[in-house]
Amino acid sequence: MLPFRPQRARPYLYSDLEIQKLLAAALKLSPRQSLRPWTYHCLFGLLTVAGLRISEALKLEQTDVDLREGILTIRQTKFGKTRLVPLHASTRDVMADYARRRDRFLRSASSPCFFLNDHGRRLEVSAVRRTFYDLSRQIGLRQPEAHNGPRLHDFRHRFAVNTLIQWYRSSEDIERRLPVLSTFLGHGHVADTYWYLSVHPELMGLATRRLELRWGITHEE
């Protein structure tokens, strides 16, 4: 009698070391002399630092990637909106290096997308997931026969949580800044971004402490 509301999967929040291991493993993908290792190294790195959905990253066209200004144009997202995503200088440098390698390797590509496979075609999300699962097993993020575990979408969760933690530590006005993060992530409602406050122990503790200070609550020894 009550409307069904699917439970949101609890995100896996990658550590910095796990990210480093994943990117290093990507560079060892075979064939070693092909474009493939550099494609996945750049793709997984971008997902880590830009908060993109995997579908958004794979749909990026070369004209959507402004490496001079360091801005991505994310078009027709999940909610039919277009948004701009600024890039850190280090991310821009990695993407520029990949673009040079891609253009040298592929003299004539059949797709305008930024991320391409060794045949010059757009990456298929199923192939990306298989590669991610294989690398995850190699570095110990997944058990050899496991059918569940960390997901590609969890890179996006990590970005959101880390951003909120940094804002709390810097004493930012979270209520004012949260709509900014919501827009950056391409959320349809700010409530979707508020959800992150409850999924990480440190973040929950920082939020609770902020409320205690606001209301003058102290803990007695």
Q: Which residues are catalytic?
A: 53, 78, 153, 156, 187, 196
3-state secondary structure of 19: helix
Residue 140, by phi and psi: left (phi above 0), alpha (psi -120 to 50) or beta? left
Please report how the helices 125-138 and 16-26 are oriented relative to each other, as an axis angle in degrees rounded to 10.
110
CA-angle at 37, arms to 32 and 40, nearest 5°: 165
- Rounded-to-integer distance, Cα 126 and Cα 110, Å: 19
- Rounded-to-integer distance, Cα 14 and Cα 158, Å: 7
Check: CB of residue 77 under 8 Å from CB of residue 186: yes
